[in-house]
Chains A and B, each alone.
Chain A
Amino acid sequence: MSEIGISMPNVTVRGPEAPRNLESLDPVFQVEDLSVFYGDYEAVRNVDMTIGNREITAMIGPSGCGKSTVLRCFNRMNDLIPGARAAGKITYHGEDLYGDHVDPIEVRRRIGMVFQKPNPFPKSIYDNIAYGPRVNGMKGKMDDLVEQALTQAALWDEVKDKLKQNALSLSGGQQQRLCIARAIAVKPEVILMDEPCSALDPIATTKIEDLMQELSRDYTIVIVTHNMQQAARVSDRTAFFTAEVDEAGVRHGRLVEFDETSRIFTNPADKRTEDYITGRFG
């Protein structure tokens, strides 16, 4: 990880030349003063950030800084952990994500997620993709849906002749793209990715990164990564988290800085961000 900092100016940043207007941000999520608790332990404290429509937002930071925890609030996966609780506010298109009327299952149908370790179901490739549409009661021709999702995930050509094969027979990188295809198949608006490449080799990683670029034309993507080059390469905005010890000696995750990726990697406002991306910390 240390090779990153020394060549900071050389880091390819998805800079201003990217064909999108970052200033007029069309918010999908707005996070206000979010704190996440596991029982009595406050894992993340006072986070404010905005996720723009059809942008790629990266969340970076050292382990234990709470970036995955925040990510899992966006589709309410944290609900599944006994004792987990979110304070503050997250809105999704202005609607309170944690409002009383909100159904977490409905939330997850609209906000897809890809996990750190590829987790295909122990079923055929076809059934993996068809699973989401089936449980969501989606109408339409399943074969077309499967083909469409696999094509979008750049996997169709590799698997079109073996759709009945068990998904576990695919390589790690293919499995992860299958998981992306599986998420796309339910036609979400947002795709959350929790360190999607950390279990993959560099070639497979490149493929996933290319795929993310491709998908960001249609989807809003939020990605957690501890690979800073990856954040720099793919994202429009970057949120830098760190873990801080408070007066009582308890560690909390904090959002340090949130800005356009080009700014974070070339001219960070906060000293801690600079230290981290130049490799002096973490």
Chain B
Amino acid sequence: MAILTTPKSAVQLAGQGRPLREHVFRIALLSSLVIALGFLALLLVYVVQDGWPRLDSALWENQPSIRRPETAGIQSGIFGTLWIIALTALMALPTGILAAVYLEEYADKTKWYNRLIELNISNLAAVPSIVYGILGLGLIARWMQFGFTVMTGAMTISLLVLPIVIISAREAIKAVPPSIREGSLALGATQWQTIWRQVLPAAVPGMATGSILALSRAIGEAAPFLMLGAATLVRFNPEGVWSSFTVLPIQIYSFISQSREEFHVLAAAAIVILLAILLLMNSVAIWLRNRYQKRW
């Protein structure tokens, strides 16, 4: 066609170019993304700058104090968070992964109760965390009489992250190609042998990524603990699962609530520690995902 037409019309075809608004639109989109992420950068710079004077060894060597913010530390919070995360990992990860295996490999989607379970999980993933706090308070602390202990906190947080663990583990299982299952079943393997020896090993990297992200959510969570008595000043590290406790985000919250300026510096320093832990976990998760992505 181009040969038959005159050069003039050929120029018309090419000449219109991109109107200005196309560029403006593209730049507007990009700047939205940059604004959102710029916020993250600003936040990081701000807390590091603010907390810098208190990023010293006293921060993790000392216990918190209401009277002496300039030497107060966050050791009980760090240990409390470690306790909670360890127990949450022990409870929520196996339960979530098993539930995901059931939903992906066994559940008949045409059955109403399986659809109900699925809908229920996506609902639970979005229930406000403070409501989980109420669950922990009303059911675990009071009704089961576990009190305001590490165990209550860990159980509450386990239930909170469970839907996240299930959803991400399901994604990881889904990513294992069906041909692997067929190959195994055709050799006379049972369904569980197929899952245990083929599907799960292949899904491990994806599950690890999801699990790390779920646990990092647990580390940053504060609202449920407000309901579980972690808000009072705790000046000792937990000695066991039945010990009372506090966690890092709650300590940060109580520092912020103090009016003296030194507490804000202390809060900023504690935030730096918290964010450093979370960034580390996120990086590991992202590295894992990139490393093992798409092997088929």
Direct contact between A and B judged by beta carbons closer than 8 A: yes
Q: Contacts of A186 on B, CB cut-off 8 Å?
A: 187-188
- 0 or 1 for each of B108-142: is its CB under 8 Å from A? (1 = yes): 11100000000000000000000000000000000
**A168-B294 Cα distance, complex, nearest whole Å:** 12
Kindly name the residue among B180, B182, B296 whose own CB sees the greatest number of chain A CB atoms within 10 A.
B182
In chain A between 86 and 124, which residues have their CB closer than 8 angstroms to a CB of chain B? Answer: 105-106, 108-110, 112-113, 115, 117, 119-122
**A82-B111 Cα distance, complex, nearest whole Å:** 12
CB of A131 within 8 A of CB of B184, answer yes
**A229-B197 Cα distance, complex, nearest whole Å:** 39
CB of A182 within 8 A of CB of B187, answer yes
Tell me how far the C-beta of A105 lies from the nearest C-beta in chain B, rounded to whole angstroms. Answer: 6
- 0 or 1 for each of A112-140: is its CB under 8 Å from B? (1 = yes): 11010101111000000001100110000
Q: Contacts of A168 on B, CB cut-off 8 Å?
A: 295-296
Task: Tell me the total A-B contact number using a CB cutoff of 8 A.
Answer: 68
Selected from A106, A122, A135, the residue in CB contact (under 8 A) with B187 is: A135
Q: Contacts of B179 on A, CB cut-off 8 Å?
A: 115, 117, 119
B186 is an interface residue with CB less than 8 A from chain A: yes
CB of B188 within 8 A of CB of A135, answer yes
Tell me how far the C-beta of A184 lies from the nearest C-beta in chain B, rounded to whole angstroms. Answer: 11
B189 is an interface residue with CB less than 8 A from chain A: yes
Selected from A82, A112, A117, A122, the residue in CB contact (under 8 A) with B186 is: A112
Tell me how far the C-beta of B259 lies from the nearest C-beta in chain A, rounded to whole angstroms. Answer: 59
CB of A82 within 8 A of CB of B110, answer yes
Given A105-B188, A135-B189, A179:B110 Cβ within 8 A:
no
Closest to A117 in B: B179
- 0 or 1 for each of B259-296: is its CB under 8 Å from A? (1 = yes): 00000000000000000000000000000000000011
A80 is an interface residue with CB less than 8 A from chain B: yes
Tell me how far the C-beta of B102 lies from the nearest C-beta in chain A, rounded to whole angstroms. Answer: 16
In chain B between 169 and 211, which residues have their CB closer than 8 angstroms to a CB of chain A? Answer: 177, 179-180, 182-190, 193, 197-198, 202
**A72-B160 Cα distance, complex, nearest whole Å:** 44
Q: Contacts of B185 on A, CB cut-off 8 Å?
A: 77, 80, 108
CB of B180 within 8 A of CB of A119, answer yes
Given A82-B110, A131-B197, A168-B295, A136:B182 Cβ within 8 A:
no
Interface size on B, residues (CB 8 A): 21
CB of A122 within 8 A of CB of B202, answer yes
**A132-B184 Cα distance, complex, nearest whole Å:** 8
Q: Contacts of A83 on B, CB cut-off 8 Å?
A: 110
Closest to A192 in B: B186
In chain B between 41 and 84, which residues have their CB closer than 8 angstroms to a CB of chain A? Answer: none
Given A82-B108, A121-B198, A122-B202, A77:B188 Cβ within 8 A:
no
**A113-B182 Cα distance, complex, nearest whole Å:** 9
Q: Contacts of B190 on A, CB cut-off 8 Å?
A: 105, 135
Interface size on A, residues (CB 8 A): 27
Q: Contacts of A113 on B, CB cut-off 8 Å?
A: 186
**A240-B1 Cα distance, complex, nearest whole Å:** 47
Q: Contacts of A112 on B, CB cut-off 8 Å?
A: 186-187
CB of A183 within 8 A of CB of B184, answer no
Tell me how far the C-beta of B15 lies from the nearest C-beta in chain A, rounded to whole angstroms. Answer: 46
Tell me how far the C-beta of B173 lies from the nearest C-beta in chain A, rounded to whole angstroms. Answer: 15
**A262-B135 Cα distance, complex, nearest whole Å:** 75
A35 is an interface residue with CB less than 8 A from chain B: no
Q: Contacts of B108 on A, CB cut-off 8 Å?
A: 82
**A120-B179 Cα distance, complex, nearest whole Å:** 9
Tell me how far the C-beta of A194 lies from the nearest C-beta in chain B, rounded to whole angstroms. Answer: 10
CB of A119 within 8 A of CB of B183, answer yes
Kindly name the residue among A120, A135, A179, A183 whose own CB sees the greatest number of chain B CB atoms within 10 A.
A135
CB of B295 within 8 A of CB of A108, answer no
CB of A77 within 8 A of CB of B187, answer no
A75 is an interface residue with CB less than 8 A from chain B: yes
CB of A121 within 8 A of CB of B180, answer yes
Tell me how far the C-beta of B258 lies from the nearest C-beta in chain A, rounded to whole angstroms. Answer: 55
Closest to A136 in B: B188
Q: Contacts of B110 on A, CB cut-off 8 Å?
A: 82-83
CB of B187 within 8 A of CB of A108, answer yes
Closest to B108 in A: A82
**A108-B82 Cα distance, complex, nearest whole Å:** 48
Kindly name the residue among B182, B186, B197, B198 whose own CB sees the greatest number of chain A CB atoms within 10 A.
B186
13 inter-chain pairs at a CB distance below 8 angstroms, sorted by A residue, are: A77-B182, A82-B110, A83-B110, A108-B188, A117-B179, A121-B180, A131-B184, A132-B187, A132-B189, A135-B184, A135-B187, A182-B187, A183-B186
Interface positions of B (Cβ within 8 A of A): 108-110, 177, 179-180, 182-190, 193, 197-198, 202, 295-296
New A-B pairs, 17, CB < 8 Å, besides A120-B183, A122-B296, A135-B193: A75-B186, A77-B186, A105-B188, A105-B189, A105-B190, A106-B188, A110-B188, A112-B186, A113-B186, A115-B183, A119-B177, A121-B198, A131-B184, A132-B188, A168-B296, A183-B186, A186-B187
